[in-house]
Amino acid sequence: MKFSAFIIAAAAGSASAFAPAPIKARTVLSAATLEAPPAEVKEPVEEPADASMEVEQDFPVAENFVKDSERIIPGRYNDKENSIAIPFLPRPTALDGSHAGDFGFDPLGLSEKLDFYAMQESEVRHARLAMLAAVGWPMSELLAPSWMLQHGCAPSVLNGANPLAALSIIGFLGAAGFFELKTSLRQSSSTPMGKIHSKDMGAVWKYGVPGDYNWDPLDLYSSCGDDFKGRKGLRDVELSHGRVAMLGITYFAFWESLTGHPIVENNMLFHPNALFPLLVAGCTAWSQIYEVGPLNEYPIEIKYANEGEMKLKRVQNGIKDTVGQISESAAESKKSLDELDSKFGIYEAPKKFSEAVRSTYKYW
């Protein structure tokens, strides 16, 4: 009996294995509406809030921090392989456009051999003295008494100097040197203007700006803009004028040494004449027709300005027409004179008149 019960249970279990599986309900889209049944929406699980997002935090800021947008960033000329001033020479590494007056002019490579800061200090000093000398030199020759001059020329190394003038020059240069020793050479970072320069140049180096004496009584330093760009622009102007002044007084000294005459003598800037207006007119006319190409491209080209070629042809045609009219007028005048000469012999009249006058006096 037990065995038969076991056989019946086994047969029932094996039969359930062949029973069909239950069919799951399929999602059916209506051909009329093409709408699907609403999907199951899961309820969002709330995550624990971060305590740091609810409370505003203060991050520490370094002392004297300056944003890059408020200071000079080095590497202005890093994309230029050649110098701007001398396009056919490579750009010196130190001259990357960070400093005022930097146009890549260093054919001897001194910026890579010597103390770059000390050389900039030296240039600023010489530039300022040269600007004073460019004004003082001709003014002394115009206004100073003759006993202070050397044959009418300002005292200089090449012209010489009398004892009083020599002592005055030595005293002035000594006082200027003492003043510069006490106020320059990286000792200006503690002054109000020095602190501003330290912020402007903080990304370049720690020395600030060469030639900083913390002296601006008329508050002109912010005239080009009270930011690092305006201050650097004004330093650019100062160095450009100083470099021209250094060339100018060098010319003064050599000219007076070669000629022995003061620079104000027969000078178009001090004695009115037609030369200076003619030079200005010539320069203006030239600039209307030609222009110099970019200085950072080699070779430097001189090319026509806007409508320059048309203006040049117009001038050439005007000159050609004027010359033609003058030639025609001269030919007509010559024809008229020839007709008069054939009738009255006017070409021989002056000679006959001279002979008649001479015949009246026996000693001629």
Q: What pLDDT is stored for residue 32 in this prediction?
A: 43
Widest pairwise Cα distance in the chain: 195
Measured between its terminal Cα atoms, the distance across the chain in Å is 190
Interval 99-117: pLDDT, tens: 888 888 888 888 888 888 8
Q: What pLDDT is stored for residue 242 in this prediction?
A: 95
What is the spatial distance between Cα 27 and Cα 191, in angstroms, rounded to a whole number?
A: 83
**In this predicted structure, which of 180-189, 236-245, 285-294 has the lowest mean pLDDT?**
180-189
Band (pLDDT 50/70/90 cuts) for residue 229 is confident
pLDDT above 70 as % of the chain = 77
* Helices assigned H by DSSP within 294-345: 308-344
Residue 298 has pLDDT above 80, yes or no: no
For 113, phi then psi, to 5°, come to: -110, -35
| H-run or E-run covering 52 | helix 51-54
Phi-psi region at 219: left, alpha or beta (left = phi > 0; alpha = psi -120 to 50): left
- Average of pLDDT values for 203-230? 83
What is the spatial distance between Cα 128 and Cα 246, in angstroms, rounded to a whole number?
A: 9
What is the spatial distance between Cα 186 and Cα 148, in angstroms, rounded to a whole number?
A: 38
Dihedral over alpha carbons 244, 245, 248, 253 (to 10 degrees): -150
